[in-house]
Amino acid sequence: MSEALTGTQLLAFERQITQLLTQLLQEEQELLAGVQQMQPVLCEVGDAKDGPAGELAEQISACRAALVRITTGDYGYCDTCGEVIELNHLMADPAICRCVRCRRADNRALVAVM
Q: How many domains does the chain have?
A: 1
By the 8 A CB rule, do 77 and 83 touch?
A: yes
Would 2 be classed as within a structural domain?
Answer: no
Per the structure, the complete domain to which residue 60 belongs is given by 7-113
Q: How far apart are CA 64 and CA 68, in angstroms?
A: 6
Would 80 be classed as within a structural domain?
Answer: yes
Q: How far apart are CA 111 and CA 1, in angstroms?
A: 29
CATH assignment of the domain containing 59: 1.20.120.910
Residue 45 — very low, low, confident or very high, per pLDDT cuts 50/70/90?
very low
Q: Which helix (H) or strand (E) holds 51?
A: helix 51-72
Cβ neighbour number for residue 96 with a 10 Å cutoff: 19
Q: How far apart are CA 52 and CA 58, in angstroms?
A: 10
pLDDT, position 40: 56
Would 28 be classed as within a structural domain?
Answer: yes
* Residue pLDDT, tens place only, 62-99: 999 999 999 999 999 999 999 999 999 999 999 999 99
At 77, give phi and psi (nearest 5°): -115, 140
Q: Which of 32-46, 52-66, 93-107 has the lowest mean pLDDT?
A: 32-46
- What global pTM score does this model have? 0.79
Q: Which of 56, 54, 70, 80 is nearest to 12 (CA)?
A: 70
What own/partner pairs with CB < 8 Å and gap ≥ 24 does 48-54 have? Answer: 53/28
